[in-house]
Structure 1
């Protein structure tokens, strides 16, 4: 794999393809999702970073006889893919931290011990990705298991969904967590039968540890974002929606933008829990829809996650009958945050996983709509994982976007039934129900919760199977998307979800020439093989910013 220069000085460092020269690329199988149909073409003409035409080679060669030509050697060409829900800073930082995804408990403990040998004595050992659902017994881990590794450093490991954390005794001591420590509102400290903290903290209780974990500097954040940019480009992403950024991360983005060092399109959502939220919203939008950095939304947090039983449910958990999950904020606090956003002309993107959280969010939006028409905002429900059928039907009247992550369904299939029971699965991961009523889906991955590769998401959307092919007929297969619908969710409708569909999301004349070349045609191969496709080249504004080496 070879990354072409993507940071400062990008335009001067790319020798082969320069802005200002009309270029005609041909000999490829091209597909793009328009509003109503799938379009196919074999030739793309672009100049000064924008598309001039798509269509048939013979016709366009006559129309642009002086254009420089590129033979794409029969590859697949798609518009640049957009991940509508990821965590860019988290992805970049994870490249220097401990990644525990897909490991069983013995493997997890071994990986922690091995990683500790690379650490300085005074460093925190930080990681994420553990998932007790994959472990024998499916029980939450304990600080005792970490303490037994005989590691001197404080250890803090976030669960795969980012809604629970696992600490050793050294970390809890630094945070002052004892048997007498109360859990904050919207959080839970898991305790043993004697009331002693076990080392696992859920949702808002995680802040007790995170408040003492050393935070990255502005320069460290800029470096982590740049690392994430390069990884995203190598996997065919030309746009990402960053789901929740702090004031400092926003500063890092603005500094990179001023340096010309953002090589793809980023749509950060300002985190509603940032203490400077009113001032950040009062300062107005950042950038414009045709720029690499565009900020006009906030990320609101309604509840936790299903895997850690923090998702707020209307009825108790099927496998924990005394629990209904957690609301991160009260309904009145959520309403105030959303009112503040709309008063300042900001789109509201709400994390809501459980059916109770989704119902509360819909009630608030319905109330706001009575004061001011909410449809132009294009508000989004991030995840929209579990809803009642009645609440699913409320999306069209408010012009709400369901911002969903297809890989979550194939990752959660082994525990969602346990958490919800069969009856509530009817409104869970319900892509087909949303599509049938005309609701736009903006697809993403929630990286680094899930792998950043968007081909994994396209595969999951179409097959409802994991990458090993299970279950054979797909999990809740009646909710699957067609490949055309999935492509639109990762391109045109993701662009709509960020108010950028006039500039990106498809290769219509006048839009930016953001596109990718793949090594196989995902429209003609076995759908189970879609995830195996490799991105060969990524182009942004008519410049090749990534090329895979042989």
Structure 2
């Protein structure tokens, strides 16, 4: 088996016994030498292949601890509405949508955000009806917690003025009681349920595109937060055939009926694909005011958000999956949702004797101070997304008010309380670019450097802790800390080469940095042209 030696300007190992090196050697997917170039060359032997990465800085493989491969693949192929500045611009993009935007005869799009439009109000069906009177249209909001549909879509789903709001969902209505075309959280299901599923070919194209994109942005692994059974089976086949370019730590989708089959199957471990966790959703998103809050929204006094399942149902599902040996991760955005999730995970772990399964709070976005302390004391994983803060900072205080903002996107407070930080992006809600995540974690600023000094800068992470959050944190959260997260002899050969030093260089350098190479299991899955 061939041995490959990689040379670089600097190798940040995150191994306290040897923090830096100049070379490493790879054989059969493992690191066989790490250290000075002379020593590594000698250990590798004269027949070793040598790859010189020049001025690049190598770090342990970067991992996104909360993402959605299926959603990314879809977002790369349907009508893309991110960054639109008006309803008119949305209609313009839909009119130019590629053929891949259709599932059956349904026009699909994603990424709209009314907060960036004049007035910030939710859109309505009338604009879509005028342009698409007979083609059903289904457009998911940037956070995937609301959908904007036209009249034909409502007709096919059987939604009328007499349709009641489902539990955990809202059908927005006009002054006359007619559905406006915006559906929030569980109300989306009625329309989504009549959209034809993607064909096998569409699914394969989408997943291939998503995995390729992950490798391009320097990710050696992804924690997929809520995978459907069809996608899981396809990835199982690809893993057995050696076709996965990056590692996938899949969380079973614990929301729908497929959860029963996942419970029957139990945890799974393959070569680059694992499923040891389950993902549950308790509330909606802040942007659509679906996040469950203890007190009403500051900019909508009559609203407190939505619980997507009753607390009793959450407890029952958590207990069932813990008893089956699954790590449990629960989506919690609002402070009420986080209180329920933290209390439920702690109680259920104790009852089932599964404290060692490293249960997770996905997002941990808005918490009361006492819940931050409880989360940390229980050593729960805080699976947080730095770019959510920089995306939301322009309007979050309007939603929450200044007092609740103190416990929002509170990464450093969570860390100090004892939580393990596993950083991610929540792509495709945010861009999968992990360099943007490192930058946001360090600065709490947008790419233009606003606001000066950072938004609530006391919650910034140091450069070392930000890097640890995308390496060692996800490794620990996926029970892989003995194999990944550091570069040392005997560990998996997963590493990312960058054009900048993410620790020593100024944070601003990350904005224009690029990925030089991505290596997974000893295989070079991406090299910059």
Q: Please tell me the TM-score bracket, short chain as reference.
A: over 0.9
TM-score normalised by L of structure 1 = 0.92
2:419 matches 1:439: yes
Equivalent in the alignment of 1:490 = 470
Q: Which moved more, 1:111-120 or 1:532-541?
A: 111-120
SS at structure 2 position matched to 1:194: coil
Pick one of 378, 401, 409 that aligns with 1:421. Answer: 401
SS at structure 2 position matched to 1:33: coil
2:9 matches 1:28: yes
Equivalent in the alignment of 2:85 = 104
SS at structure 1 position matched to 2:64: strand
Equivalent in the alignment of 1:266 = 248
Pick one of 362, 372, 376 that aligns with 1:396. Answer: 376
Equivalent in the alignment of 2:310 = 330
2:261 matches 1:279: yes
Aligned mates of 1:462, 1:222 — CA distance in 2: 36
Pick one of 462, 469, 475 that aligns with 2:449. Answer: 469
Q: Which moved more, 1:363-372 or 1:386-395?
A: 363-372
- Relative distance call for 1:368 and 1:411 in structure 2 (3 A) is same
SS at structure 2 position matched to 1:522: coil
Aligned mates of 1:533, 1:38 — CA distance in 2: 26
Determine if contact 1:116/1:151 at 8 Å carries over to the other structure: no
Q: Deviations over 1:381-440 (max 9, x none)?
A: 000000000000012332200000000000000111011001001110000101112311
Aligned mates of 1:151, 1:529 — CA distance in 2: 48
- Relative distance call for 1:367 and 1:176 in structure 2 (3 A) is same
Aligned mates of 2:93, 2:133 — CA distance in 1: 12
SS at structure 1 position matched to 2:131: coil
Give the drift of 1:169: 0.8
Give the drift of 1:368: 1.5
Aligned mates of 1:294, 1:117 — CA distance in 2: 34
SS at structure 2 position matched to 1:532: coil
Determine if contact 1:519/1:536 at 8 Å carries over to the other structure: yes
Give the drift of 1:255: 2.0
Q: Which moved more, 1:327-336 or 1:142-151?
A: 142-151
Aligned mates of 2:289, 2:20 — CA distance in 1: 44
2:272 matches 1:292: yes
Q: Which moved more, 1:96-105 or 1:536-545?
A: 536-545
Give the drift of 1:122: 6.4
Equivalent in the alignment of 1:180 = 162
- Relative distance call for 1:118 and 1:444 in structure 2 (3 A) is closer
2:32 matches 1:55: no
Aligned mates of 2:18, 2:424 — CA distance in 1: 20
Aligned mates of 1:120, 1:43 — CA distance in 2: 48
2:61 matches 1:77: no
Aligned mates of 1:537, 1:475 — CA distance in 2: 32
Q: Deviations over 1:350-397 (max 9, x none)?
A: 000000001011221232244233321100000000000000001233
Equivalent in the alignment of 2:356 = 376
- Relative distance call for 1:254 and 1:415 in structure 2 (3 A) is same
* Mapping 1:203-214, distance limit 5 Å: 203-214=185-196
Equivalent in the alignment of 1:166 = 148
Aligned mates of 2:524, 2:337 — CA distance in 1: 43
- Relative distance call for 1:329 and 1:519 in structure 2 (3 A) is same
Give the drift of 1:523: 3.1
Aligned mates of 1:444, 1:37 — CA distance in 2: 27
Equivalent in the alignment of 1:6 = none
Aligned mates of 2:309, 2:327 — CA distance in 1: 19
Give the drift of 1:37: 9.1
Aligned mates of 2:127, 2:362 — CA distance in 1: 34
Give the drift of 1:534: 0.7
Equivalent in the alignment of 1:526 = 506
Aligned mates of 1:102, 1:322 — CA distance in 2: 29
2:87 matches 1:115: no
Aligned mates of 1:351, 1:523 — CA distance in 2: 30
Q: Deviations over 1:27-48 (max 9, x none)?
A: 42111334x6992221112211
Determine if contact 2:13/2:488 at 8 Å carries over to the other structure: no
Higher relative contact order structure (alpha carbons within 8 Å, sequence separation ≥ 6): 1
- Relative distance call for 1:133 and 1:44 in structure 2 (3 A) is same
Which consecutive aligned stretches of 4+ in structure 1 deviate over 6 angstroms post-superposition? Answer: 116-122
